[in-house]
């Protein structure tokens, strides 16, 4: 059974991503995909103030761990989400973190920022990344146990799509479009 925290987080996130098949259909069940408004009609463009940036740097630089990594996934064709991810990436790099960024692989992310931890236990650097985002006032929805959830969904619903974590990847931060205000 999925951990209670994961079940609650997954219910709150409600389908973070939808894989689009031919003709804009949901590949899993051939239903029309949910409508996601482009940033121009959605939420305002996101940025960081100098205070937010400094709050993040203070948290990130204070992490004494030998491993300081973050993995981002962002829809490359969404200019606002991509610009926001690049802004966050710069802060992590300025703090000396190893940053990996990938595209969405054709998935459409729901608006907002999501942190999915592969295992039930958070690695310290994932907690630090989450804390840094929170200190900056960024609303991050987080879930743990994602790797098991991913495998369970693939078994139960063969067409289901979600971000796949690499073997050496302990978590991912998904950057969706700006939420509507």
Q: What is the pLDDT of residues 37-75, one digit of tens each?
A: 344 446 899 999 999 999 999 999 999 889 999 999 999
pTM over 0.85? The answer is no
DSSP category for residue 169? -
Q: How far apart are CA 117 and CA 135, in angstroms?
A: 19
Average pLDDT in the chain: 82
- Tens digits of residue pLDDT in 102-140: 999 999 999 999 999 999 999 999 999 999 999 999 999
């Amino acid at each position: 059974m999925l951990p209670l925290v994961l079940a609650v987080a997954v219910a709150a996130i409600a389908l973070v991503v939808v894989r689009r098949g031919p003709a804009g259909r949901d590949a899993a069940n051939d239903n029309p995909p949910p409508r996601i408004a482009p940033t121009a009609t959605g939420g305002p463009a996101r940025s960081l103030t100098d205070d937010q940036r400094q709050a993040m740097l203070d948290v990130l630089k204070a992490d004494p761990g030998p491993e300081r990594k973050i993995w981002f996934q962002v829809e490359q064709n969404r200019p606002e989400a991509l610009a926001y991810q690049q802004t966050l990436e710069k802060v992590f790099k300025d703090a000396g973190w190893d940053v990996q960024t990938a595209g969405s692989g054709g998935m459409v992310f729901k608006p907002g920022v999501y942190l999915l931890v592969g295992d039930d236990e958070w690695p310290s650097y994932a907690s630090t990344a989450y804390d840094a985002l929170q200190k900056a006032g960024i609303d991050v929805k987080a879930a743990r146990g994602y790797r098991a959830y991913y495998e369970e969904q693939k078994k139960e619903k063969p067409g289901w799509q979600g971000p796949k974590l690499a073997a050496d990847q302990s978590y991912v931060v998904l950057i969706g479009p700006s939420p509507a205000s």
